[in-house]
Amino acid sequence: MLFMKDKYTFPAVFEREENQYCVNFPDLGCATFGDNLDEAMYMAKDLLEGYLWGLEDEGEKIPAATNPEDVKVTKGQFVVPITAHMVDIRNEMMNKSVNKNVTLPRWLNKIAEENKINFSQVLQSAIKERLNIRN
């Protein structure tokens, strides 16, 4: 298992283009934008957290961040260090619901629906019981 830090800071290159700000993370090869600077900052943080969580989830190594002072920019560009707080995003992503298809005999499905059985709750309870998970 890879060591996972609680926060990462990566340099983001911002550039104003017509009616929006484009944001690029040169160390990661991903980009986003916002209609104004505040939105671009929000989107940059959201992208960084989601991208890094994806790397962690796939067991991939997170690259080292370049020092913001060492990032080369052209005229009109500026560098902003963006910090991803991973504890919150990990909790959010790990508790996000996923869809599962379940196959049941028609008769059982009919009776369950007539009794207003919540299939998701029953499946979660059964899996937790099977795995001896208490919460």
49 and 82 fall within a common domain: yes
Q: Looking at the 3D structure of the chain, how many domains does it have?
A: 2
65 and 125 fall within a common domain: no
85 and 33 fall within a common domain: yes
- Does the residue 127 lie in any domain? yes
37 and 72 fall within a common domain: yes
pLDDT in tens, 79-93: 999 999 999 999 999
CATH of the domain at 77: 3.30.160.250
Determine the average pLDDT of the residues in 26-41. Answer: 98
11 and 70 fall within a common domain: yes
34 and 63 fall within a common domain: yes
pLDDT band, very low/low/confident/very high, at 116 (cuts 50, 70, 90)? very high
What does the H/E/C string look like for 52-109? HHHHHHCCCCCCCCCCHHHCCCCCCEEEEEEEEEHHHHHHHHHCCCCCCCCCCCHHHH
